[in-house]
Structure 1
């Protein structure tokens, strides 16, 4: 689960291949459900792409700019 949560910290070009490798490592039903959800909501969605939610080399990593200063 920690590795799945760390995906946004990777360069966008590496996110999909890393996610595919992590899918192969799931060994319990709860993780299967989580990767299925992530695949549907974050990888197969028509509006969101890994390039949009990757925070690799971004200086502000919060949705509240006041917090980041």
Structure 2
């Protein structure tokens, strides 16, 4: 469906968005989209970091050997 989009299609879509939202609201709209993408990246980074196993510390290894 989206394989046939060309540069002209993108220009027409941008013109329609400009007509719908107006030029005054476009900076706020772009800012909120950017903030949403930043939040999504942070959350996926946090989820990936939480899923990675943490390396064993020297104290944890020593405790396991002592018991």
- Compute the TM-score of the two structures, normalised by the length of structure 1: 0.31
More helix as a share of residues: 2
Q: Which has the higher contact order (CA 8 A, sep 6+)?
A: 1
Q: Greater CA radius of gyration, 1 or 2?
A: 2
